Amino acid sequence: MVQYPYEGQGFKDWSGALEKYSDSFLIDLFYKMLRIRLIEEEIENRYFDDLMKTPIHLVIGQEATAVGACAALSTSDLLYSGHRTHGAYLGKGGDLKKMLSEMHCKANGCAGSRGGSMHLIDPDVGMAWSSAIVGGAIPIATGAALASQYKSDQNVTMVFFGDGGTEEGVCSESLNFASLKQLPIIFFCENNFYSVQSPLRTRQSQRDIFRWAEGHGINSSVVDGTNVLEVYEATKSAVEKIRDGGGPHFIEAKVYRFRAHGGAGDDSQTGYREVEEREMWERHCPVESYYSFLDQNNLGIKSQRPELQKQIEQEIRDCFEHALKSPEPKKADLFKYVYAD
């Protein structure tokens, strides 16, 4: 039985809204989602070469959240994430070379091979931090928002976490504190209905996550996380209100991961969820449904796609090559940065 069917409306009512966006903006969203998809697929293809000795948590199926939400942020805004980092890092503009070097355990990885795939950071573009502990980044992001408020630096902080993350005590603690202090932060929950192989129904009572968030006195909403424009609009509206001095926002996006919780390939056939359920969501793939939408609205995407794809594939090949030939860290590196100077 399909436990968590897709219940969104896709792009049904969106054609009329198109005129407020420039063509380049619309195409750029597609380009960014396609890029993440192709990067993830290549990581997956190469995973069993065992040269990336790191756990991976692919975001295939969840590209629209990272891309749509990050499109509403500026570079100096801060992004935090949980273990499922790839989309957040790339969506915020993180350096692909540094990411792949990190995954190949190389000295020039974004964290010098001390973080691994669950700890991708790139301070230059505001990809501030991530934690491999579920919920761990949520209070840290809240602290960053406190610092922004204290310094009046106008930055908005956003933190990505899963439905599982909302079950951790620190999530409630952080929502309460952010609400209390009216901090400039967006709590962004990617609800993909599963924590590893545990469905929501064995973990939470029947409730809407965003309603639960609302109970903390936070402005909360829910969006179709397969629709990049809907994600963008919800985030943009939150960002604008925050920049106008409004307090924290909570956005729940309903999404689906097309692969297993971790590693390469899907594991639906093990029985914790129906293959049919995944296939249903795949018919609402964030990349392809947006592509069809652009195509139907005559944005010339069909003629551009092959070139975009070629360009991305070349970039990916180059970055993998760069990672593979990059140097490994040395023994002396191990002992650095235990304490800060």
Instruction: Name the phi and psi angles at 189, rounded to 5.
Output: -100, 120
Closest contact distance (angstroms) between CB of 155 and other proteins is 9
- 319 binds ligand TPP, rule: CB under 6 A: no
**Binding flags for other proteins, 58-97, as an x/- string (CB under 8 A):** --------------------x-x-----------------
Site for ligand TPP in 139-198 (CB under 6 A): 161-165, 192, 194-196
Residue nearest to ligand TPP (CB): 162
Token output for 192:
């993909």
Token output for 76:
């100096």
How many residues lie near other proteins (CB under 8 A)? 41
- 28 binds other proteins, rule: CB under 8 A: no
Interface residue with other proteins among 82, 115, 165, 247 (CB under 8 A) is 115
**Pairing of the two strands 249-254 and 127-130:** unpaired
For other proteins, the closer of residues 172 and 309 by Cβ is 172
- 336 binds other proteins, rule: CB under 8 A: yes
CA dist., res. 341 & res. 338, Å (int): 10
Q: Residue 163 touches which of ligand TPP, other proteins, none (CB < 5 to 8 A by kind)?
A: ligand TPP
Site for ligand TPP in 214-273 (CB under 6 A): 261
Annotate 291-323 with b (16+ C-beta within 10 A) or e (fewer). bebbeeeebebeeebeebeeebeeebeebbebb
Closest contact distance (angstroms) between CB of 186 and other proteins is 15
DSSP state of 85: -
Per the rule left: phi > 0, alpha: psi between -120 and 50, beta: everything else, 244 is alpha
